[in-house]
Structure 1
Amino acid sequence: MNKPISVSSLNAQIKSLLETTFIKVYVEGEISNLTYHNSGHIYFSVKDNGSTISCVMFRGNAKYLKFQLEVGQKVVITGNITVYAPRGNYQLLCSKIEPSGQGALALAFEQLKNKLEQKGYFNPEIKKQLPKYPKKIALVTSATGAAIEDMKKVAHHRWPLVEFILVPALVQGEGSAYDISQSIKYADSLNCDIMIVGRGGGSIEDLWSFNEEIVANAIYEARTPIISAVGHEVDYLISDFVADVRAATPSNAIEIALPDINEHRIYLDSLANEYISKTKRVVEIKQQNLTNLKRLFEQNSLDSKFNFIESQIKLLKSSFQADISQKIVVANNELNFLKTSFSNKIEQRHSQMQNQVIMLKNSYEQNDPKRKDKKGFVQITKNNKVISLEDLQKSDKISLQTPTYIASCTIDEIQKQ
């Protein structure tokens, strides 16, 4: 079972989800419940036939409004969703409000964006990678604008080794879109490492040249990696979507394009420290190895070897003498043992032989042929072997022998008395 969460945690999650999902939205509707607060903030709602949403425009943005808001007025709002977590309310935080009649530019932007997206201009797979250490960068921007000076200043502090080539272009007004596209094509022929296309901030009308299809086509067809750096961070142009990289401002484009020399200095310092540390460690190891080798050499020198051999000879001599004495004692003991054992064996063998002679003598006397000639006694043999009467069985074929006669017989019946 899932553990329940608090209301505050739920509202915090909703706030995070909404504010990260609806970062920038365009909303068209009719104003209602309008309040101009003494603080300079404007509170109102915007509605259509089916829904209403609360809106707020803070004083910092409200001061740029060129017209007075009125109830019932139809407007186009640019903003983002914000959530007031303590009450669980969400509202539209307005950064720009335009009359609905002037919303044609926004519509044209969305139409061109959808068209180019379907043609694959925004496909991440075709985006070109920026080189890590560019040597030459082409700047397509106004030669008299503040953006070029900002970029030069950032580059001087960040990576002064880079070379800039300025390709002047009209960045607003009639014919500017065509001029920008031609400048992009020319800059692409200069074999630069990176091209930055952009200008400083301004109104949507001032920036509109970068929303033209002719500029999008020039960026898409360029072989040089392009950074789009138009306006401020809140401004999103068609050039931002088509370019390989989008920068919030021209200065940010330089930060993206160039490495930070200070980071590399720190990295080089760390490498130097690491090199010194490792070198010191290697020297210490070599010194230790040298000390060990010196000690080993002393242990294996001729004097050491002679002294060792001399001590071994003395030890062996002493050990040999002791070993010889011990072996003589052992040999004498073994000799005495062998003498005793041999005498015992001789006596035992002599006794055995005497017994065997007596047995043979008795056997001979019992088998003396002369004894076979005694009246009434015969020798019984079966298969040429002497056999006792007790071992005979019915039907056995036997021979009855005396010194002068042999009788062949068959046993018909055996009875025990």
Structure 2
Amino acid sequence: MKRHTRLIAAAAALAGAALVTTACASPPAAPGASGTSAPKAEAPAEGRVAVAYENGIAVLDPQTLEVVGEVATEAFTRLNPFGDGRHIAVTTSQGFQLLDTAAPELTDLVFGATTPGHVVIHHGRTVLFDDGTGTTTIVDTDAIEPGATELPETETYAADAAHHGVSIVLEDGTLLTTVGDETGRTGAVALHAHDDHWDEAASSDACPGIHGEGTAADEVAVFGCENGALLYKDGGFVKLTAPDEYGRMGNAYVSETSPIVVGDYKSDPDAEGYLLGAVTLIDTAAETLEVVELPDDVRFTYRDVARGPEDLAYILATDGAIHVLDPATGELVDAFDVIDPWEGPAEWQDPHPSIKVAGDIAYVTEPSSNAVHAIDLTTGETVASVELDAAPNELAVALG
């Protein structure tokens, strides 16, 4: 693929970006992907950005956005950080295949899955969920050595039935995983490992359509439901009910230093398209759920929300601007233009703008111009851009 890189700001500004492009970023929530955690502060700049397009993936330098390598893939692939600051889990027909962004190359390491779905990174564990079998695979996040030719040891849990699910392992080893079957998803269960089996510690069936996951301050986990949200805290589940009969939160955008979860929100089950105009604010400490309606020009999809500096939420809206939401107040406190206005996708997997944040830098795709941009969230300035020869679709950041 031919490509062109153009530096937007002066060298001094770019040098500043190098200092702040430093945090380990967790994957964004989406169909087949889990909730996202805000970057923790500063991390080294040697990690890279991966962008999927039809039949390929481009690996970009995180500071200049120069294309440092490309690999051929299947027509459509999903991208999720593996969590080690080097590898990306690429969902293919074979399972979760590892992309080494440092090489860069698509390795032969594949965690087998019939229908690879969510990837969750938390407290040194990377957890992979196979929707086709209901199998959870748990692996130490730092277990993949550079140049490895064999997969590391893993631990697995098989659900009673296959479903589109998600799992997370907490610091104390508790496995939280969704419950469902071919007819639907109902809730979650907390499990403890004992030799060759898992013991149930707690469960809840009060979360119809359970989807997405995130972990807030004090390691409170949250799942989205079609009628609110489900928390796991202090060893048990807590249901938070939406104000509408149908009030779906499907994706959680979290920071591990904030008790407030920002979630997307949909109150009309028959609404067409994928654009949303409201968010939920879930206070995991106070155990409250509030719905905030956004202005008419602030519409977004599951790809367009991320947590960033000062635990704020950053919404890439259809007007082309990043709108800054203060989760503590529910107020929009700032906005800056970054791309041209855009329309929602016909199908969820179609290329449309997305945002991922690492440190103070937001990476933004603009499929209409085949572009990827790096935005300094502390100033609103675009510090680098690259123009590809194909429309960028999936986006993942491997910084560690």
- Whether the TM-score (by the shorter chain) exceeds 0.5 is no
Structure with the larger RCO, 1 or 2 (CA within 8 Å, 6+ apart): 2
Question: Could you state the TM-score of these two structures normalised by the residue count of structure 2?
Answer: 0.22
Larger radius of gyration: 1
Greater helix content: 1
Greater strand content: 2
Question: Could you state the TM-score of these two structures normalised by the residue count of structure 1?
Answer: 0.21
